[in-house]
Amino acid sequence: MQYWARRLEQEIDGVMRIFGGVQQLRGIYTDNKNLFEVKENVPRKLVEKVAGDIESLLAKKVRALKRLANAAEKFQKSHHWQDNIREEDIEYYDSKADTEYDDPDGEEIEREKSNSLKLEFTDDANFKTKVNYSYAAVQIPTDIYKGSTVILNELNWTQALEDVFIENRKEDPSLLWQVFGSATGVTRYYPATPWRAPNKIDLYDVRRRPWYIQGASSPKDMVIIVDVSGSVSGLTLKLMKTSVCEMLDTLSDDDYVNVASFNEKAKPVSCFKHLVQANIRNKKVFKEDVQGMVAKGTTDYKAGFEYAFDQLQNSNITRANCNKMIMMFTDGGEDRVQDVFEKYNWPNKTVRVFTFSVGQHNYDVTPLQWMACANKGYYFEIPSIGAIRINTQEYLDVLGRPMVLAGNRAKQVQWTNVYQDALGLGLVVTGTLPVFNLTEDSSDRKNQLILGVMGIDVALNDIKRLTPRYNLGANGYVFAIDLNGYVLLHPNLQPQIINFREPVTLDFLDAELEDENKEEIRRSMIDGNDGQRFIKTLIKSLDEQYIDEVFRTYTWAPIKSTNYSLGLVLPPYSTYYIQANLSDQILQVKYFEYLLPNSFESEGHVFIAPREYCKDLDLSDNNTEFLENFIALMEKVTPDSKQCDNFLLHNLILDTGITQQLVERVWKDQDLNTYSLLAVFAATDGGITRVFPNKAADDWEEEPEPFNASFYRRSLDNKGYIFKPPYRDAGYRGLDLENNTIGILVSTAVELSIEGKTLKPAVVGVKLDLEAWAEKFKVLASNRTDRDQLGTRRCDPSTSCEMDCEANNKDLICVLIDDGGFLVLSNQEDHWYQVGKFFSEVDANLMSALYNNSFYTRKESYDFQSVCAPEAQSNTGAAPRGVFVPTVADLLSLAWWTSAAAWSLFQQFLYGLTYSSWFQTEEVAGDSMEARETSCIMKQTQYYFSTVNATYNAIIDCGNCSRLFHAQRLANTNLLFVVADKPLCSQCESIKLLQAEVRAPPRDPNQCELVDRPRYRKGPHICFDYNATEDTSDCGRGASFTPSLGVLLSLQLLLLYSSTSQYPLPRAACL
């Protein structure tokens, strides 16, 4: 077998030496070194410069933000409240006035009459939508009556902000959305644009946006306790479950939470035994487990509150260490548990208590009001579904009191996590600044209400433009993280589906493959330190099929005046890079001509990377079209034009000429058919991929951007020849090989050493004809020489002659498998259509043996950015569950309408149509496409070579069906050569190793275990949770829901239709 392996190694090396042209390309670069300079990437200087540029960008936004916040406080202070204000007295652009909504059955809902201004809009590339720069727009939540006195006064004084918005834009034309989110729910944003609403009732409320929550209060430690005693009816329990879910949505990643239910005893609703970070995954666990709460037993408030105080007093865990609060949901009770408060909370009252009376009942609510008032909290009533959203978020006003009273000390600009802009900008971060009510009462006491939060968006793409890209090489990159360790910038930050209600939270250790070195780097960055470390680490290939062990230099430093830290990752071969210097315009023209399609037939087809070479260049996903656009532009401008990136253009043209010289010196003189090659190719850092001959471009499926091509990036990181078969999933059934030639890429990096500086500016390779090389493989792995004839040397297991892969292909399986475990070549013809499949799909027994004998190591990880089809809900019956549906006769009955219980049920159903968080429809036909897919966690498994290099023989023990196999790594390649007996019977089967990405099972990864070893993080450095002058006398009231009448009337019509139709009602749900 070692003899066969050497023959294979020699054949591969010989072909690559002749056709790859590595040596010749080195010579071409040397001959042309007068046309370029070798520049150095100095990591610390790069990080310092980029961090400074980002700091300057954000500082400009901060100045505009402070100007807006100061102006808002001044305008509100000078505003005179008007009790008799009318809607027609206010002139503004209602962003939802022209928005059309569909009802659940796909019919348009009649819009409310509006006095909105009629504006004209023009397309704007910066905002990716139509805007009007002369006005701001107003968005008012659907469940708030826009004609109320409070809202009209809010609209009145905020109108003055428009002039400040416009002035800000004049000073900084790069400003994106400028937004004021009011504590009343009104959003005023600039420039004006129509609201982007879903094809259903719009539930957007600025007070629930991540940026508003972060700006409106300091971090929170919250314990939610839910009364599940027997008196809690089915309807009330559903209200409580939904209320808890809505309460969880008011928490951000800076907050910590736990949820417990209580009757005679208290117990957590989930596996979390202590406060946990209120991140998306933990909140999802709570929301799922809350649904399992069952009402039974008697009420003991003491059990619930003692549990909550114990949770908040646990100092052995990571927590927010700022605002502490208990949120109790109950249907009522008589006990005030004063002894518990005296023991745990008085006299300092460091824990606020918020009580929520849920459902329609006749209990005395005085004890609940007393609990809240005696503990600096607030009492709320939730009689029906319509009161949930507002009353589960207004506690933020109470938490904002110490901030307002702290004055300028609390005027801290905070930068958010990455999240999806609701108006279509894509991924953004927002700078936030709280806006305070500066009015004073007749006793000269300061007002303690927060007016709202001012925000200014910064698109992630604008920050990315400040980072270097192409001089870092294909495998170098810049990243940034926040105090939670979440990435702000990272090449792997690519969420598949965006839910604008949730921030995009990808931890640095999930964006990369986690190890101890990266944990320490992450901690140092969060602590605001700078540093540098050279490490050996594992990385995934771009196509996520392979794992490579590589060396990288990590360099990092804080971005001053922000919560962010910036990092730079460089491989050793990217310390230096080429910068072309084509001052000779005649040479520019000569090289440029090799980009013209009329040269392709003789010089090979050229793909150019779709980069932003010039400002006026139209990008296109079609490379032929992009090349046409590029050529057309180059006929109008020169490579030295100010509107073009001279570095990119000069390098592109230089590499065009260099790869053309490779054609002339090497490829044109060779007959590819002699060695069964479909193509030869070269790809460069400058963005050129040249494929020869021209006809081979028809079957070229690699990315035209070399930096996005898996073969290119892997060749740089690995020595020798890298084989890449076409990837086939488990379900692939093959094609007719006679009509569809399959190619296998073999590539290797070109390493240069110029004046002692080492770099890898290009990758060259060949494309093997699978069928021809499968035949060649059999010959090379045989005992015959060129003079031997097949047929004269037939051996079998009963004879004494040595068997081989050609003569004995009915008895022996001979395969080449790559470092990811994918089949590359086989002596079995029925394997040819399976080339590119994970080998366990071809021979599960043999692959398991290779894994068990340590030829391969397995790496499992999770992709938290995936998208999946929604999981099927069980549908055991069409009847509604626990929801009363009034008949038409009921609707027409005066007695029914005057019934408080009936109105509660009607309101529950009515708002069930409005709030998707209350009812979740089984049918999605009338919904938007967003409902058809959901974010999910995918489990990924990759295999890679272990450190075993020697030849290995082993027996797969299956009793009478045992198999002998031999395995050996091929030198200077990523291949494993395996020879094995064919299985004699089916008894030698084993468990198939899985490589394909699969949806992670529920609770995988196990959040219950992960929270016991939380990752290092830091909260905001300043906390406002106490002020001695706080007035806590305003501490409770009933529901204050002010619905939009037009929406209510529309929904009543829908109710009439639904009550008489045959369609089943959806069942209640929290998620």
pLDDT in tens, 82-101: 999 998 889 999 998 876 55
pLDDT in tens, 761-770: 999 999 999 9
Q: What does the pLDDT read at residue 925?
A: 29
Torsion sign across C-alpha atoms 858, 860, 863, 869? positive
Q: Are strands 722-724 and 677-684 parallel, antiparallel or unpaired?
A: unpaired
pLDDT of residue 659: 96
Nearest to 244 by CA among 372, 355, 388: 388
User: 480-517, pLDDT tens digit by residue?
Assistant: 999 999 999 999 998 876 665 677 889 999 999 999 99
- pLDDT score of 113 more than 70: no
How many CB atoms are closer than 10 A to CB 114? 15
pLDDT at 176 over 60: yes
The string of pLDDT tens digits covering residues 595-614 is 999 999 999 999 999 999 99
pLDDT digits (tens, 9 = 90+) for 289-301: 999 999 999 999 9
User: What are the structure tokens assigned to 87, written together?
Assistant: 């809607």
CB atoms within 10 A of CB 829: 13
pLDDT at 982: 85
pLDDT: is 112 or 83 the higher one? Answer: 83
More confident call, 1039 vs 741: 741
Predicted pLDDT of residue 878: 35
Residue 204 has pLDDT above 90, yes or no: no
Per-residue burial over 885-901, b if 16 or more Cβ lie within 10 Å, else e, is ebeeebbeeeebeeeee
Measured between alpha carbons, how far is 985 from 983 in angstroms, rounded to an integer?
Answer: 6
Tens-place pLDDT, residues 443-478: 667 888 999 999 999 999 999 999 999 999 999 999
What pLDDT does 1060 receive? 41
Confidence label for 914 from pLDDT (cuts 50, 70 and 90): very low
Judge whether residue 903 has pLDDT over 60. Answer: no
Average pLDDT on 931-954 reads 79
Task: Report pLDDT for 739.
Answer: 53
What's the pLDDT score for residue 978?
Answer: 95
Higher-confidence position of 32 and 800: 32
Asked whether the predicted pLDDT for residue 181 surpasses 70, the reply is: yes
Mean pLDDT of 878-888: 36
CA gap 993, 851 in Å, rounded: 9
Q: For residue 375, give every residue at least 6 positions away whose Cβ sits within 8 Å of its Cβ, in sequence order, or none.
A: 341, 345, 349, 351, 352, 353
Q: Can you say how many angstroms the Cα of residue 539 is from the centroid of all Cα atoms in its chain?
A: 18
pLDDT computed for residue 832 by the predictor: 86
* Average pLDDT over every residue of 139-156: 92
Cα distance between residue 393 and residue 403, in whole Å: 17
Per-residue pLDDT tens for 992-1017?
A: 898 989 998 887 888 888 998 999 99
Report the distance separating Cα 627 and Cα 618, nearest Å. 10
Quote the CA–CA distance of 366 and 377 in Å, as a whole number: 14
For the ranges 53-67, 198-212, 473-487, 513-527, which has the lowest average pLDDT?
198-212
Helix axes 585-593 and 646-665, enclosed angle (nearest 10):
60
Please give the share of the chain, as a percent, with pLDDT higher than 70.
85
pLDDT at 236 over 60: yes
Q: At what angle do helices 234-248 and 900-914 cross, to 10 degrees?
A: 40
**Best CA proximity match to 448, nearest among 391, 375, 399:** 399
SS3 51: helix
pLDDT one-digit tens code per residue, 870-879: 765 544 333 3
What pLDDT is stored for residue 143 in this prediction?
84
Please report which helix (H) or strand (E) contains residue 372, including its range: helix 366-373
- To which H or E segment does residue 567 belong? strand 565-570
One DSSP character per residue, 721-770 reads: BEEEPPP--TT-----TTTS--EEEEEEEEEEEETTEEEEEEEEEEEEEH
Mean pLDDT across the chain: 86
Mean pLDDT of 802-831: 88
pLDDT at 89: 87
pLDDT band per the 50, 70, 90 thresholds, residue 950: low
Pair 151, 142: CB distance under 8 Å: no
Cα gap 975→13, rounded to integer Å:
13
Cis, bond preceding 1020 (omega within 30 deg of 0): no
Q: What percent of the chain has pLDDT over 90?
A: 66
- With vertex at residue 137, the alpha carbon angle to CA 131 and CA 142, rounded to the nearest 5 degrees, is 125
Pairing of strands 351-358, 378-382: parallel
pLDDT of residue 287: 95
| Residue 1056 clears pLDDT 60, i.e. is over it | no
User: Of 147-151, 729-733, 1024-1028, which range is least confident?
Assistant: 729-733
Q: Confidence band (pLDDT; 50, 70, 90) for 989? A: low
* pLDDT over 90 (residue 918): no
Q: Is the pLDDT of residue 585 over 50?
A: yes
